[in-house]
Chains A and B, each alone.
Chain A
């Protein structure tokens, strides 16, 4: 990732040491947070704006989804940040500090994943519902250890 005048652009390595340019975009002021924040296997990008942290989900092809933003509170906004497994769940989160004195630290996942939810009922199909009818909703979201 390279920056010039607030515009950021990814450089693609084609395997021969020759890089080509990805899509340019403009966000925030500090391009220094890159990790797979949403756990989809693609690197994502985060940086800071006024009272805001922006997150752009990488698509794995040098392009990014529409930015999501998280407001940092209390103001003034983020003055720095770092990446770490702060939830101890194997996934990167972001800790940001504000310009307050003493500084306020806020930790949050930058890009949340939307899990699928499947619903099924049994018996199905039925000719006549009865007390044995059961419906189950299932999600692939990580569950706490039992």
Chain B
């Protein structure tokens, strides 16, 4: 079984006893919709087959940090 994201290879290997193959580790994808495709190569009993899903990554919250700066002492003219 191989898994692709957005048409790029992500991982491949043998399925386990339940017929599943997993791949983990975030690939640094940007926000938006990403296509995840699983390709089964087939064997002597089964044809090749594939399935897919869409994985949606939302835009992360924007954090604005405001830092107070120490005011420079001003010289006051009497």
Contacts and interface: CB of A to CB of B under 8 A. Distances in A.
Contacts of B38: 117-119, 135, 137-139
Interface string B23-64: 111100101000011111011111101111101111110000
A91 to B, nearest CB: 6
Given A113-B46, A124-B55, A131 B26 contact: yes
Contacts of A141: 15, 19, 40, 42-43, 45-46, 49
Among A115, A119, A133, A140, max chain B CB count under 10 A is at A119
Interface string A23-34: 000000000000
A131 B26 CA distance: 4
Contacts of A39: 45
Interface residues of B, number: 40
A145 B15 CA distance: 11
A142 B45 contact: yes
- What secondary structure prevails in chain A residues at the interface with B? loop
A138 B58 contact: no
Nearest to B56: A125
Among A117, A142, A143, A146, max chain B CB count under 10 A is at A117
Nearest to A91: B45
B17 interface: yes
A47 to B, nearest CB: 21
B19 A128 contact: no
B57 A115 contact: no
Given A91-B45, A114-B49, A139-B40, A127 B15 contact: no
A5 interface: no
Interface of A: 39, 87, 89, 91, 108-109, 112-121, 124-143, 145-146
